[in-house]
Amino acid sequence: MLDFPPWKIWAIALTVLAGIVFSAPNFLSEQQAASLPGWVPSKQLNLGLDLRGGSHILLEADAADVRKARIETLEEIVRTELRQADGGPIPFLDLSTRGGEISFTLRNPGDIDRAVETMRGVSRPVGQLSAQRDLDVSVMDGNRVVVRPTEAGIAAEVDAAMGQAVEVIRRRIDEMGTREPTIVRQGATRIVVQVPGLQNPDALKALLGKTAKLEFRLVDTEADPQQAAAGRAPPGSQILPNADGGVLVVKRRALITGDQLIDSQPTFQDGMAVVSFRFDSVGGKRFARATQENVGKPFAIVLDGQVISAPRINEPILGGSGIISGNFTTASANELAILLRSGKLPVAMKVIEERTVGPDLGADSIRAGAIASVLATVLVAIFMVMTYGRFGLYSVVALVLNAVLIFGFMSMIGATLTLPGIAGFVLTIGAAVDANVLINERIREELRKGRPIIPAVETGYTEASRTIFDANVTNVIAAAIMFWLGSGPIKGFAIVLMIGIVTSVFTAVTVTRLLVSLWLRRQRPQTLVL
């Protein structure tokens, strides 16, 4: 009991010192921490959004949307490949894109091998190691070819789309001038966006929820307005909602899409807010050709399936840049410009969860949490000293060190402190006390049985340690499961609890034992008040 070898004392002292050094930056202002010399730890605790205010938005991609888009592009590829097949075009009829697959019937059943071969040539391997391909080609009834995207292919597609989506979202948020957003993928089809300190999340959500697919399409001027009003469009055309509240019949095929835009800015024309855009050189040439061929015809500017405006092409637009007018306010023109600049999302995304905490509430929560933590510590400390005297004082030292170590460790690994985390912190204060209570009560018992002081203290520590170990393992199990399965607030709570359990056992058992043994060695007390 009394023989603490010097190396042990040093190890304990060093651990405590490290805790102090790592937790110290939290008590400095941000500027002070930044101005520390490089070798001094200067990392501060990350505060969760609930403590500093901000928005947490969970977006989910529609995998069905990816599948649909894949079929659409595939249709185009299939047509081209059949036309350009080795050994002459393969004539086909009855091409269908229903049921998540593409199928067509060969005019000459004799072409079947060539057709299958051509289609197989279209498919790509999925990943680098697996033998799986992204398309499944099969033959029905002898001369109908079915091309079906495989699950693995779609999954790879979704994965790629999500990677791009993260980039697009990052560009959009950066365009807003927001500082330090967190944008991470979660699972296969989700993206978490966290933006601290945002007062009004609506503008952000307006930016995130839009796909921003821009298309220039010809207006179908030959469509019968009565038919259109009844919801029937001629083949090759479709009815789209117009910004003015009505509908417009436009061609299905886009003259050109927004994919080749390189810039877009909000600006003014005749005192009206408008959005300017500029194509890259390839896009500019295509835009020039398209406008040249269709002078005099009206064309629709379509964003995400809605017509913004449908001006007439008065003359060919050769410079590769133009202006979109519509019923814009300055704000909505700016929003559209940001959307066009940062590119379209490769897949439609929906907001499925949103949590916004105002900065005032965050500040209140920190204050309330800090006051509660300090007061809880002080009250528990008073109670401990009243109950266990000198040994209670040692427990209080352990308690304070425990707090220091928790802060130090969390700062070191860059963990995030949330409001439930503060609750977890208060709770570990209670748990740390429990270890000391167990030890002290045990020593009391041993003393009552008439044991001399040193053996009583020794038995107290060894017997209680076993209980403390068992009791804390169960808490670690609960905390680990919370961390593993929990989301958001529960995770923040669990991480503090796990760290706190480890540090509380160290401070409550090891550190107090050192303090007690140093005291016993120096004073050799004849009586022990406990």
Partner 1 sequence: MRLLKLVPDNTNFPFLRWRNTAVWLSVLLILASIALVAIRGLNFGVDFAGGLMMEVRFEQPVELDELRQTVNSADAGEGSLQAFGDPRTVSVRLPLPEGDDAAVQKVVAQVQDTIRKGHPDAEFRRVETVSGKVSGELVRDGAIAMVLAMVGISIYIWFRFEWQFGVGALFALVHDVALTLGFFALTQLEFDLNIVAAVLTIIGYSLNDTIVIYDRIRENLRKYRKMEIADILNLSINETLSRTIVTSVSMMIALGTLVVLGGSVLFGFSVAMLLGIVIGTYSSIFVAAPLLMWMGVGPHSFIPNDQGPEARLKAKADAQRGQV
Collect all residues with Cβ–Cβ distance below 8 Å to 130 and sequence separation of at least 6. Answer: 152
Closer Cβ to partner 1, 111 or 446, answer by number: 446
Closer Cβ to partner 1, 247 or 471, answer by number: 471
Report the nearest approach of partner 1 to the CB of residue 70 (Å). 23
Report the nearest approach of partner 1 to the CB of residue 443 (Å). 11
Q: How far apart are the C-alpha atoms of 109 and 106, rounded to whole Å?
A: 6
Report the nearest approach of partner 1 to the CB of residue 51 (Å). 10
Report the nearest approach of partner 1 to the CB of residue 123 (Å). 33
Report the nearest approach of partner 1 to the CB of residue 186 (Å). 11
Closer Cβ to partner 1, 178 or 387, answer by number: 387
Q: How far apart are the C-alpha atoms of 462 and 460, rounded to whole Å?
A: 6
Question: Cα separations (Å) of 288 from 274, 295, 326?
Answer: 21, 11, 22
Token couple for 505: 């056992």
- Provide φ and ψ at 253, rounded to 5°: -75, 135
Report the nearest approach of partner 1 to the CB of residue 357 (Å). 5
Report the nearest approach of partner 1 to the CB of residue 318 (Å). 38
Q: How far apart are the C-alpha atoms of 362 and 358, rounded to whole Å?
A: 6
Report the nearest approach of partner 1 to the CB of residue 239 (Å). 20
Closer Cβ to partner 1, 81 or 463, answer by number: 463
Torsional sign, CA 334, 338, 340, 341: positive
Q: How far apart are the C-alpha atoms of 224 and 233, rounded to whole Å?
A: 8
Closer Cβ to partner 1, 320 or 460, answer by number: 460
Report the nearest approach of partner 1 to the CB of residue 352 (Å). 4
Neighbours of 261 (CB within 10 A): 20
Type and span of the H or E element at 193: strand 190-196
Closer Cβ to partner 1, 188 or 368, answer by number: 368
Torsional sign, CA 486, 487, 490, 493: positive
Token couple for 283: 């896009």
Alpha helices in 84-200 (DSSP H): 112-122, 151-175
Q: How far apart are the C-alpha atoms of 16 and 23, rounded to whole Å?
A: 11
Closer Cβ to partner 1, 171 or 205, answer by number: 205
Question: Residues, the chain, total?
Answer: 530
Report the nearest approach of partner 1 to the CB of residue 501 (Å). 9
Measured between its terminal Cα atoms, the distance across the chain in Å is: 18
Closer Cβ to partner 1, 60 or 134, answer by number: 60
**Cβ atoms 443, 57 nearer than 8 A:** no
Type and span of the H or E element at 237: strand 237-241
**Cβ atoms 408, 18 nearer than 8 A:** yes
Closer Cβ to partner 1, 90 or 516, answer by number: 516
Closer Cβ to partner 1, 310 or 433, answer by number: 433
Closer Cβ to partner 1, 482 or 515, answer by number: 482
Closer Cβ to partner 1, 112 or 427, answer by number: 427
DSSP per-residue string spanning 334-395 = HHHHHHHHH---SS-EEEEEEEEE-HHHHHHHHHHHHHHHHHHHHHHHHHHHHHHHHHHHHH
Strands (E), 290-333: 299-303, 306-309, 321-324
Report the nearest approach of partner 1 to the CB of residue 178 (Å). 18
DSSP 507: I
Strands (E), 398-519: 416-417
Report the nearest approach of partner 1 to the CB of residue 242 (Å). 17
Neighbours of 19 (CB within 10 A): 24
Closer Cβ to partner 1, 252 or 448, answer by number: 448
Report the nearest approach of partner 1 to the CB of residue 172 (Å). 15
The helix/strand/coil state of 321 is strand
Parallel/antiparallel/unpaired status of strands 190-196 and 272-279:
unpaired
